[in-house]
Amino acid sequence: MSMYQVKPVCGSLLKTDLPTCMYTLPNIHGQQGNSCTSDLCSQHALQNGEVDPAVKALEARQDEILRKLYELKAAVDGLAKTVTTPDADLDLTVSSSLSSQSPSSTTFTGVTNLDTLLGKDLGALRDIVINANPAQPPLTLLVLHSVLCQRYRVLSTVHVHSSVSNVPPQLLSCLGPRHADSYARQMFQLGFTLIWKDVPKLQMKFSVQNMCPIEGEANVARFLFKLLSPYPNDAALATLVDSWVDMAFFQLAEGSAKERAAVLRALNSALGRSPWLAGQEFSLADMACYCCVLQSGPASSTPSNVQRWLKSCENLGHFSPAKPFLQ
């Protein structure tokens, strides 16, 4: 049975107007079935294990871009400090200490855990930011920084705030030379940022969201020393250490001549009974008193037991960062 016929809707020679604003493509229907384009042929030719030179160039370009991104990230992290915590205007030097975590010449009792003391590491560098006045360099903190570098991988940075016009060169390099890997912040366990700023009292900031600022060199020294060794479990011994630290900063460094003489007599008496101020072990009390004694006057003017103790402190090798500021 035959079907009815229908007239054609359009003729075979109908032409369609195509847009001219787009790029043109070759007619795939006009290609022979057994032919291949040059791109496909080259792809089949490189399936035997060879690498296309264009791919090699692309990989090299990607590696270069990633390297520049790490450098930009380090620069942005430094600038971010000027917005969040430190109010720094100029990054002068970046240094680090990547020494092995071997114990120092002085054995600090106890084991510290950064995750316990500073919070769990979530991938960002735990940075301790300190604002200090260049007219009163925090020598105790420079000593503690040196000891921290022997225990941890520390990224150390020095900034200058716009409130300070002239900073001596030795203060700009007080944390050591610039390290080649300073842009790779993920390599370090701890950040130590020192900002020379016109502030009446030394201030430390660690976590703006979870922790209020710590003021005073004595309190900041206590915080940093706990990263090296926990405070004594004995309440009486811990109180003794705190009392020596307070006497060092409030009477030796800031007190009158009468107060200084009274503290030197107390030091001479205590050091006549034990080698160190807190007994048989070197502690924060010795660090603080050593720096404050030499800041307040020459070693030759101190009693005999104090002079012997000063030499014992120097033999430890921890106080070399403070020596240029004590001469």
Q: Note the pLDDT tens digit of each residue in 274-291.
A: 999 988 889 999 999 999
Confidence band for 90, pLDDT divided at 50, 70 and 90: very low
119 contacts: CB under 8 Å, gap ≥ 6:
126, 207, 210
Q: Note the pLDDT tens digit of each residue in 216-263.
A: 999 999 999 988 887 777 889 889 999 999 999 999 988 899 999 999
Q: What's the rounded Cα separation, in Å, for the pair 107 and 281?
A: 8
Total number of residues shown for the chain: 327
Confidence band for 99, pLDDT divided at 50, 70 and 90: very low
Q: Indicate yes or no: pTM above 0.85.
A: no
Sorted by where each starts, the structural domains of the chain and their CATH numbers stand as 114-227 (1.20.1050.130), 235-317 (1.20.1050.130)
Asked whether the predicted pLDDT for residue 268 surpasses 90, the reply is yes
Q: How far is CA 142 from CA 27, 37, 57, 74, 139, in A?
A: 75, 69, 48, 24, 5
Got the DSSP string for 234-253? SHHHHHHHHHHHHHIIIIIT
Q: Note the pLDDT tens digit of each residue in 45-75.
A: 455 556 778 888 888 888 888 888 877 877 7
Question: What are the backbone angles phi and psi of residue 192, rounded to the nearest 5°?
Answer: -130, 105
Asked whether the predicted pLDDT for residue 91 surpasses 50, the reply is no
How do 203-205 and 127-132 pair as beta strands?
A: antiparallel
Residue 30 has what pLDDT? 58
Q: What's the rounded Cα separation, in Å, for the pair 156 and 145?
A: 9
Share of the chain above pLDDT 90, in %: 27
Which range has the worst mean pLDDT, 12-21, 192-201, 247-256, 302-311?
12-21
Share of the chain above pLDDT 70, in %: 72
Q: Note the pLDDT tens digit of each residue in 169-187.
A: 888 888 887 666 666 777 7
Q: Note the pLDDT tens digit of each residue in 288-327.
A: 999 999 988 888 888 999 999 999 998 888 888 888 887 6
Residue 87 has what pLDDT? 44
List residues bridging with 130 in a β-sheet: 194, 204
Residue 291 has what pLDDT? 92
How do 214-215 and 127-132 pair as beta strands?
A: unpaired
